Amino acid sequence: MNFALIAPTPAESEGLRGRLSPQPKQEMKVISEGELYGKPVLFTHCGVGKVNAAHSATLMLENYNVDILILFGIGGGYSGEVGDIVVAESESYGDEGVLTKDGWKSMKFMGFPLLKDEREYYNTFPMDTELVQRAIKALKDAGLNVSSGNFVTVSQCSGTRESGEIMKKRFNGICENMEGAAVAHICTMYRVPMIEVRGISNIIKDRDMKKWDIKKAASNCNEAVIELIKRLK
């Protein structure tokens, strides 16, 4: 099984990079080939944001044979605890749509699907249900505490309790990030299954970075990805 791994930044991948052989570079947009537990692994840092993430996913899927793509890093939780591990059941573009006098409306309201193949995709890209369940079982078998739900991808991060509640309610979300929906979009286009794993670095309230723990979130997330590669067949 060939895995492709994408993390936005080096701070989000340090623990995993140290386990890959050979150890990949830290530079952005460099695709490294290696292995972990005898399984072939591609690795890259995409950079922050939707365009960077979509670009890196496209480079990987255009140029390599990939069975499963894993996007991982940190995210903001709408609830829960700092350090929690969460797995996406779906990814939604949180910002794409139109703001009307009656409030925000989605791409479906506008009548423009973001992707159309056998079905139309507006804001939301569901993950493969069976693969998500396999991933969750693998992580629980490894003794990790993990939960799953809908992720929301934003351009403007929620920096207040009020803005976080708005995003949470739009898509019944558990986690907010800046890359996931774009990668899910590309994976859907290429028909490659995807797993997204995030470590919760902060609970979305009025922004106070003294309450964040990026290192813990990244470390827990890296451990989860290592276990996925070890255990998925």
List pLDDT tens digits, range 15-43. 999 999 999 989 999 999 999 999 999 99
Per-residue pLDDT, averaged over 68-89, amounts to 97
Residue-range domains of the chain with CATH: 3-231 (3.40.50.1580)
The pLDDT of 104-109, averaged and rounded, is 97
Please tell me the pTM assigned to this model.
0.97
Distance CA 198, CA 217 (A): 8
Residue 6 is encoded by which pair of tokens?
């994408």
What is the Cα–Cα distance from 29 to 193, expressed in whole angstroms?
A: 21
Tens of pLDDT, residue by residue over 128-176, are 999 999 999 999 999 999 999 999 999 999 999 999 999 999 999 999 9
Q: Considering the chain, what is the average pLDDT of its residues?
A: 97
Mean pLDDT for 41-60 is 98
Integer Cα distance of 84 and 189 in angstroms? 30
pLDDT of residue 223 exceeding 90, the answer is yes
